[in-house]
C-alpha cells in the first residue's frame, strides 16, 4: 500500500497512519454506533482545530490579502437555480444495478475494475511479472477477486488498454456498449447487470410545508455567489475586477464513496469567483509580483502523448507562451501554490495538471488542477478554471436580472453604421396588423444588407423586404416610408458580462493529503508516529507537562496556561501520571510542535524548558524568554532553529 515517501524517506504505511488518526480522533466515521454511513465522517478535536486553522489561514491568504468579498449563502437551493446552471440535467454519474442482489455499481469504476483484472490474468498466463499499480489498487474499495490466469488475444489486450486510457470520457450509452461487448458482470456473483442509468449526485429535499418546492443541497458554493453578482458589484462601488469568496459545506450523493476523507458525501469547500473584464487579455494588476515563481506543470499535450512528465516553468513564461491562458489564471495558480506550501504541503508532491479539452465543460477556456501526491495516487485538491461568462449569462437569461457591468467609456465609442428611419405615421395605415412585423424585419436587417438596400432605394426609389409570418411575405417599401443613411453613433456606456476565474478548494482533501505529507515515524521506532504540522496550522501549539503529579507544580502550570492564553497560543496541559516520554509521544501524534516542561528547578527559579517536536531538542531559559520565543515562532517572526541558537541547550530530563 506504500507508495509515497514521508519527509524522512520512509514510505507511508496507510494502515498504521489511519489507525493513528482515528485513535487520536482527527476524524471518525459518523454514526459509528449505528453502523455508520459510508462517505460521512466527523472531525474530532484535533481535526476540527486543523480545519479551523486552515480556513482561518485561507481567509487571511485570500479574502483579506486580496480584498475579496466573502459571502455565506444557504446550502438549501431551489430546483430552478440548478436547472439553469445545468446541474439537474448533467450533474450525474452512471450506475448499474444487479437485479438479483440489489447491488449498485458505478459503471465506469466497474468496467475499469473488470478489465484490469483480465489484463492481470493475461499477464499471469503469459508468465509475465505482474506489476501491481499500487495507486489504483489503493483506490479500490473491493479487492478484485483473484484474477484468473487466462491468456487474451493480443488485439483484445490492446483494446482493453485503449478503453482504460479514456475511461473518464465515456457517457452512459458508451458504457452500456462496453459492458455488453466485453460481457462485464457483477465481479462477485457473475450475475448480469441492468443497463447503466444516470444517477444525479445532488441530495434532493422539499422546502416548505406544501411539498411543491423541490430543492437540493448545493454541490458547490459557486451558484450563490453568481446570483449575488449585482449586489456585490454595487457593494464594491462598481469597481472591477473583484472577487467573491465562500467557505462552506457542500454535498454530493456519491454512488459508492471510498478512499476515506478523499471522496465523501458532505465536505467543506472554499471557493473564489474572480470577476474580470473579458477584454484586454484578463490581465492581473499584481501579476508582476509573481511572474518569476516556478510551478510544476503537466501540459495537456504531454498527457495526450501518454506521458505524465511535468515541466518546471515560471508562471510568467507559462502565460507568455500561452500554456496558461491568461495572467489572472496564472496569478491564482501561484497564490494556490503559496497557500498549500504554508500548510506544510511538500512541494515535490504538488503539480498543476491541465484539463484535457474533453475533460472541461464546453464553456471553459482553460482549467488547471492542483494535484497532491498521496498513497492513493495524485489527488485533485484545488481546481482553477476559467469559466468564461457562462454562469452569469445563463442566470441573466433565465431571470432577466442585469448580471452585467455597465461602465462609462473613457473615450466615447464612435460607430459608423447604416441606420434605418421609418415613418411610423404612415406605417400603421399602410400595413395595419402586419406593421409590427414589418418594422421588426426592417430593424433586423444586417449592416451589409442595409448598405445594399440604400443603393437600391437611391436607384429605384423603393426596395423589397422579406417579412416572416405574414400573408404576403415580400413587402415593398418606397422612399416615403423608409430612409437608410450612414451615420455616426456615439456610445458612452459599455455593457459587458464579466468572465469568471474560479479557484475551488476541497478543504478535506487538502487536509488529508497534508497529513500524509507531514507524517513520519521516529527512527528505530515505527510505532512512534509524528505529524510535523507547521506551528500556524497545528491543532495545539504547546503541550505543558509538569515533571510529575507533585502538588508544587500546579500553581506554575496554571499561571503558564493563563499567560499562554493571553498570548493567543493554544495550549493543553497533560498532568497525568504517565512518563514525560509517553506524554510527548502522544503529542507527537497530535502534531503539537512544542512542549514546555515544568520541573523542580522551575519551582525554584521560574526557568522552564522548551522542546521541539521534530528534533526533540530542548532549550532552557527564564519563563519570559521562553514565552517570548514561542510567540515569535508562532507569529512566524523566528524559526525553532533561530531560537535554538540563541537560548542555552538543555539535555536533562526527557525520559523516553
x/- site string to a copy of itself, residues 542 to 561, per CB under 8 A? --------------------
Q: How far is the CB of 26 from a copy of itself (least distance, A)?
A: 10
Tell me which stretch binds a copy of itself (CB under 8 A): 138-146, 248-256, 339-347, 545-553: 248-256
Q: How far is the CB of 340 from a copy of itself (least distance, A)?
A: 21
Q: Which of residues 99-118 bind a copy of itself (CB under 8 A)?
A: 102, 104
Give the residue with the Cβ less far from a copy of itself, 96 or 350: 96
Q: How many angstroms separate the CA atoms of 97 and 106, rounded?
A: 9
Give the residue with the Cβ less far from a copy of itself, 235 or 600: 235
The answer to whether the CB of 520 falls within 8 A of the CB of 528 is: no
- Does 350 bind a copy of itself (CB under 8 A)? Our answer is no
Identify the DSSP state of 11: B
Q: Which of residues 19-38 bind a copy of itself (CB under 8 A)?
A: 24-25, 28, 30-34, 37-38
Q: How many angstroms separate the CA atoms of 167 and 404, rounded?
A: 39
- Please select the residue that binds a copy of itself; options are 42, 417, 495, 641, rule is CB under 8 A: 42
The CA-to-CA distance between both ends of the chain, in Å, stands at 30
Q: How far is the CB of 613 from a copy of itself (least distance, A)?
A: 19
Give the residue with the Cβ less far from a copy of itself, 377 or 508: 508
Q: How far is the CB of 374 from a copy of itself (least distance, A)?
A: 21
- Does 65 bind a copy of itself (CB under 8 A)? Our answer is yes
The answer to whether the CB of 110 falls within 8 A of the CB of 116 is: no
- ∠ CA(530), CA(531), CA(536), 5° rounding? 140
| Long-range residue pairs from 116-119, CB within 8 A, at least 24 positions apart, any chain | 116/144, 116/164, 117/144, 117/145, 117/147, 117/187, 118/147, 118/150, 118/152, 118/160, 119/152, 119/157, 119/160, 119/161
The answer to whether the CB of 468 falls within 8 A of the CB of 448 is: no
Q: How many angstroms separate the CA atoms of 151 and 500, rounded?
A: 51
Rounded to the nearest 10°, the torsion over CA 394, 399, 404, 408 is 150
Q: How many angstroms separate the CA atoms of 194 and 213, rounded?
A: 32
Q: Which of residues 203-232 bind a copy of itself (CB under 8 A)?
A: 203-210, 213, 215, 217, 224, 227-228, 230-232
Q: How many angstroms separate the CA atoms of 341 and 183, rounded?
A: 47
The backbone torsions φ and ψ at residue 400, rounded to the nearest 5 degrees and listed phi first, read 80, 0
Q: Which of residues 390-449 bind a copy of itself (CB under 8 A)?
A: 395, 399, 401, 403
Rg (CA), the chain: 32
The answer to whether the CB of 612 falls within 8 A of the CB of 649 is: no
- Does 289 bind a copy of itself (CB under 8 A)? Our answer is no
Q: Do β-strands 197-200 and 41-43 pair in parallel, antiparallel, or remain unpaired? A: unpaired
Give the residue with the Cβ less far from a copy of itself, 401 or 413: 401
Q: How far is the CB of 22 from a copy of itself (least distance, A)?
A: 9
Cell digits for 551?
Answer: 502538588
Give the residue with the Cβ less far from a copy of itself, 178 or 403: 403
Largest CA distance in the chain: 114
Helices 14-23 and 507-518: angle between axes, nearest 10 degrees: 110
Q: Find, among 513, 246, 499, 258, the residue nearest to 370 by Cα.
A: 513
Give the residue with the Cβ less far from a copy of itself, 63 or 484: 63
- Does 496 bind a copy of itself (CB under 8 A)? Our answer is no
Q: Which of residues 561-580 bind a copy of itself (CB under 8 A)?
A: 565, 570, 572, 576
Sequence-ordered list of residues with C-beta below 8 angstroms from that of 8, at least 6 positions apart, any chain: 520, 521, 523
Q: How far is the CB of 181 from a copy of itself (least distance, A)?
A: 24
Query: Cell numbers 458532505 label which residue?
Result: 266
Give the residue with the Cβ less far from a copy of itself, 395 or 450: 395
Tell me which stretch binds a copy of itself (CB under 8 A): 42-50, 275-283, 409-417, 455-463: 42-50
Tell me which stretch binds a copy of itself (CB under 8 A): 71-79, 170-178, 186-194, 413-421: 71-79
Q: How far is the CB of 642 from a copy of itself (least distance, A)?
A: 19
Sequence-ordered list of residues with C-beta below 8 angstroms from that of 60, at least 6 positions apart, any chain: none
Q: How far is the CB of 531 from a copy of itself (least distance, A)?
A: 16
Give the residue with the Cβ less far from a copy of itself, 203 or 496: 203
Q: How far is the CB of 171 from a copy of itself (least distance, A)?
A: 18
Tell me which stretch binds a copy of itself (CB under 8 A): 77-85, 153-161, 480-488, 592-600: 77-85
Q: Find, among 497, 573, 495, the residue nearest to 541 by Cα.
A: 573
611: which strand partners?
Answer: 595, 618
- Does 44 bind a copy of itself (CB under 8 A)? Our answer is yes
Q: How many CB atoms lie within 10 A of CB 404?
A: 18
- Please select the residue that binds a copy of itself; options are 70, 134, 320, 451, rule is CB under 8 A: 70
x/- site string to a copy of itself, residues 516 to 535, per CB under 8 A? --------------------
The backbone torsions φ and ψ at residue 595, rounded to the nearest 5 degrees and listed phi first, read -130, 140
Give the residue with the Cβ less far from a copy of itself, 237 or 408: 237
Cell digits for 538?
Answer: 497545528
Q: How far is the CB of 399 from a copy of itself (least distance, A)?
A: 4
Give the residue with the Cβ less far from a copy of itself, 403 or 484: 403
Rounded to the nearest 10°, the torsion over CA 514, 515, 520, 525 is 180
Q: How far is the CB of 227 from a copy of itself (least distance, A)?
A: 6
- Please select the residue that binds a copy of itself; options are 47, 219, 503, 534, rule is CB under 8 A: 47
Give the residue with the Cβ less far from a copy of itself, 568 or 652: 568
Cell digits for 569?
Answer: 497560543
Give the residue with the Cβ less far from a copy of itself, 249 or 489: 249
Amino acid at each position: 500500500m506504500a507508495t509515497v515517501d514521508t519527509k524522512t524517506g520512509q514510505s507511508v504505511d496507510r494502515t498504521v497512519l489511519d489507525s493513528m488518526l482515528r485513535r487520536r480522533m482527527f476524524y471518525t466515521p459518523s454514526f459509528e454506533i449505528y453502523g455508520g454511513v459510508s462517505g460521512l465522517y466527523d472531525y474530532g478535536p484535533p481535526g476540527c482545530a486543523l480545519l479551523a486553522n486552515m480556513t482561518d489561514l485561507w481567509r487571511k491568504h485570500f479574502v483579506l490579502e486580496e480584498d475579496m468579498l466573502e459571502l455565506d449563502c444557504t446550502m438549501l437551493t431551489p430546483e430552478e437555480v440548478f436547472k439553469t446552471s445545468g446541474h439537474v440535467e448533467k450533474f450525474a454519474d452512471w450506475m448499474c444495478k444487479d437485479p438479483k442482489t440489489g447491488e449498485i455499481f458505478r459503471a465506469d469504476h466497474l468496467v475499469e475494475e473488470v478489465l484490469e483484472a483480465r489484463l492481470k490474468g493475461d499477464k499471469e498466463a503469459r508468465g509475465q511479472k505482474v506489476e501491481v499499480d499500487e495507486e489504483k489498487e489503493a483506490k479500490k474499495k473491493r479487492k478484485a477477486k483473484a484474477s484468473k490466469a487466462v491468456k487474451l488475444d493480443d488485439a483484445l489486450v490492446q483494446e482493453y488498454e485503449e478503453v482504460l486510457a479514456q475511461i473518464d470520457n465515456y457517457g452512459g450509452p458508451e458504457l452500456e456498449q462496453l459492458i455488453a461487448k466485453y460481457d462485464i458482470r457483477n465481479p462477485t456473483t457473475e450475475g448480469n447487470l441492468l443497463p447503466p442509468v444516470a444517477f444525479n449526485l445532488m441530495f434532493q429535499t422539499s422546502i416548505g410545508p406544501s411539498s411543491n418546492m423541490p430543492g437540493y443541497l448545493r454541490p458547490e458554493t459557486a451558484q450563490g455567489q453568481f446570483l449575488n453578482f449585482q449586489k456585490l458589484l454595487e457593494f464594491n462601488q462598481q469597481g472591477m475586477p473583484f472577487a467573491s469568496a465562500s467557505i462552506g459545506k457542500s454535498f454530493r450523493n456519491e454512488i459508492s464513496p471510498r478512499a476515506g476523507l478523499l471522496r465523501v458525501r458532505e465536505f467543506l469547500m472554499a471557493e473564489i469567483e474572480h470577476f474580470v473584464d473579458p477584454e484586454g487579455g484578463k490581465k492581473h494588476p499584481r501579476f508582476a509580483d509573481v511572474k518569476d515563481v516556478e510551478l510544476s506543470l503537466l501540459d495537456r499535450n504531454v498527457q495526450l502523448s501518454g506521458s505524465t512528465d511535468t515541466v518546471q516553468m515560471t508562471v510568467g513564461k507559462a502565460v507568455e507562451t500561452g500554456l496558461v491562458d491568461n495572467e489572472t489564471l496564472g496569478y491564482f495558480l501561484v497564490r494556490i501554490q503559496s497557500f498549500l506550501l504554508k500548510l506544510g504541503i511538500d512541494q515535490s508532491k504538488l503539480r498543476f495538471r491541465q484539463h484535457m479539452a474533453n475533460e472541461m465543460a464546453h464553456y471553459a477556456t482553460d482549467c488547471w488542477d492542483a494535484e497532491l501526491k498521496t498513497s492513493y495516487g495524485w489527488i485533485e485538491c484545488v481546481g482553477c478554471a476559467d469559466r468564461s461568462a457562462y454562469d452569469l449569462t445563463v442566470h441573466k437569461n433565465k431571470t432577466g436580472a442585469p448580471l452585467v457591468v455597465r461602465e462609462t467609456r473613457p473615450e466615447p465609442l464612435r460607430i459608423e453604421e447604416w441606420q434605418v428611419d421609418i415613418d411610423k405615421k404612415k406605417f400603421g395605415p399602410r400595413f395595419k396588423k402586419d406593421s409590427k412585423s414589418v418594422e421588426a424585419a426592417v430593424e433586423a436587417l444586417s449592416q451589409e444588407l442595409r448598405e445594399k438596400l440604400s443603393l437600391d432605394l437611391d436607384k429605384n426609389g423603393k426596395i423589397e423586404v422579406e417579412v416572416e409570418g405574414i400573408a404576403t411575405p415580400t413587402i415593398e417599401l418606397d422612399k416615403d416610408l423608409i430612409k437608410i443613411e450612414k451615420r455616426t453613433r456615439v456610445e458612452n456606456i459599455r455593457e459587458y458580462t464579466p468572465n469568471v476565474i474560479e479557484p475551488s478548494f476541497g478543504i478535506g482533501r487538502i487536509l488529508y493529503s497534508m497529513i500524509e505529507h507531514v507524517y513520519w515515524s521516529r527512527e528505530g521506532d515505527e510505532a512512534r508516529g509524528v505529524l510535523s504540522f507547521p506551528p500556524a496550522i497545528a491543532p495545539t501549539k504547546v503541550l505543558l507537562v509538569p515533571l510529575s503529579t507533585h502538588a508544587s507544580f500546579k500553581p506554575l502550570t496554571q499561571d503558564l496556561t493563563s499567560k499562554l492564553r493571553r498570548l493567543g497560543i493554544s495550549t493543553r496541559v497533560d498532568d497525568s501520571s504517565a512518563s514525560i516520554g509517553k506524554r510527548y509521544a502522544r503529542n507527537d501524534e497530535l502534531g503539537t510542535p512544542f512542549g514546555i516542561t515544568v520541573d523542580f528547578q522551575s519551582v525554584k527559579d521560574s526557568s522552564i524548558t522548551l522542546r521541539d517536536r521534530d528534533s526533540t531538542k530542548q532549550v532552557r531559559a527564564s519563563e519570559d524568554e521562553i514565552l517570548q520565543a514561542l510567540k515569535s515562532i508562532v507569529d512566524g517572526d523566528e524559526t525553532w532553529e533561530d531560537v535554538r541558537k540563541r537560548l542555552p541547550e538543555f539535555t536533562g530530563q526527557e525520559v523516553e
